[in-house]
A and B are shown apart, each in its own frame.
Chain A
């Protein structure tokens, strides 16, 4: 069964610090991996999308990495800001790209403290 596991479940860091969120998956065959940011009570917003051949992708202070061999991804946030407080969701897509081939992680809840 395809699974996406995210760690940690929750994380509290001080404003200005860096942090790294992890995503491990068993989805096969792999197509792509997405990271979303979801503010409380709002819809998810896409941060990055990576295919099999991409090792890293950045979006401002967010940098995602992908190791397709070990089936691991990480999302690194640099110089955190209060507005980074949100849930971060990892989503892995099966080859074929259909919406029914998406497997969602349960997210990491990140709190940035002043």
Chain B
């Protein structure tokens, strides 16, 4: 158990809908990272927040947004869902804002299925 929690574990929804994925980082970690993992693409970095502020942005679609709250939990919002958005979504956390050799701890993931 990494100490990072994600809810829900599974989510099934229809195209065009909007969903919210939630992540609670390890105690003491200020950075939260969101990743998407699909079968053909592997892991892709979406976005990072550090202590409530956006710190780095990866291949995140405009239909997707995220935020980190004062209690440091984070939410990833996915809207106008398409079939191709079906994937595993992972949250990770770390202590620092700039990774360098800092270890990221991954949560168990949310499996999103868009029908």
Contact = CB atoms under 8 A, between A and B. Distances in A.
Contacts, number: 63
Contacts of B4: 43
Interface stretch (B13-21, B37-45, B61-69, B70-78): B37-45
Nearest to A102: B45
Which range holds the interface residue count of chain B? 20 to 34
B90 to A, nearest CB: 5
Question: DSSP majority for the B interface?
Answer: strand
B56 to A, nearest CB: 4
A104 B106 contact: no
A89 B42 contact: yes
Contacts of A89: 42-43
Interface of A: 31-32, 41-46, 49, 51, 89, 91, 93, 96-100, 102, 104-107
Closest 3 CB pairs of A and B: A43-B106, A97-B100, A100-B56
